[in-house]
């Protein structure tokens, strides 16, 4: 795939698509919600949120994949993001690609994160031929850990790590790492 190719992914209920300018206010509201940002150091300002969206779009342009905007066609034009992203820090498990998600609180509990992440994994293992994909979160984030388990990802406690972007002493610093390898039928 060329780096300029910018695919969209469809599932039974979701469209994982490129970002649009009208997504930014909804993304800022999502990032300002303390429920959504519970396992991050702090909610984001609108300026920080817009900078993150620009960084995401740059990544999609550079890599041909990324953290796609998620739409529920006919119901919600933007509910967050799901997708793949190269891990941007050094760790015992890098370099690697992460599957991640962040959805607006009103759309939790509907299986959207799992559904979107399955599509992202299929794209990563199929079209991108990645040998392995990881996911990680703060140790206390039971909801994201449950999604990782539903995806068939496996945690080895020896892989847990202190996130380098989170200050020492912060209870969110300790992270758990989950992994999944490319299915044998795609090797």
Tell me the pLDDT of the chain averaged across its residues. Answer: 95
pLDDT at 7: 84
pLDDT tier at 1 (50, 70, 90 boundaries)? very low
Pairing state of beta strands 154-155 and 174-181? antiparallel
Span 47-66, average pLDDT: 96
**Domain range 9-131, its CATH number among 3.30.200.20, 3.40.50.150, 3.40.630.30, 3.90.650.10:** 3.40.630.30
CA distances from 111 to 44, 141, 147, 153, 160 (A): 25, 16, 9, 16, 26
Q: CB count, 10 Å around CB of 51?
A: 12
- Given a cut of 60, whether residue 2 has pLDDT beyond it is no
The beta strand positions in the chain, using DSSP E, are 9-10, 15-17, 67-72, 76-86, 97-103, 132-138, 154-155, 161-162, 174-181
């Amino acid at each position: 795939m060329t780096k300029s190719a910018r695919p969209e992914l469809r599932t039974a209920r979701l469209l994982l698509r490129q970002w649009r300018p009208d997504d930014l206010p909804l993304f800022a509201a999502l990032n300002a919600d303390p429920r959504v940002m519970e396992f991050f150091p702090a909610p984001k300002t609108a300026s920080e949120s817009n900078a993150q969206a620009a960084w995401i779009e740059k990544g999609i342009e550079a890599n041909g994949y990324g953290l796609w905007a998620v739409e529920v066609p006919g119901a919600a034009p933007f509910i967050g993001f799901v997708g793949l992203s190269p891990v941007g820090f050094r760790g015992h498990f890098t370099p690697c690609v992460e599957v991640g998600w962040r959805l607006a609180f009103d759309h939790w509990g509907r299986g959207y994160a799992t559904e979107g992440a399955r599509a992202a994994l299929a794209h990563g293992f199929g079209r991108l031929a990645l040998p392995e994909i990881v996911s990680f979160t703060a140790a206390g984030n039971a909801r994201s850990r449950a999604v990782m388990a539903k995806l068939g990802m496996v945690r080895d406690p020896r892989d847990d790590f202190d996130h380098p972007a989170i200050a020492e002493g912060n209870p969110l610093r300790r992270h758990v790492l989950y992994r999944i390898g490319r299915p044998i039928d795609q090797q």
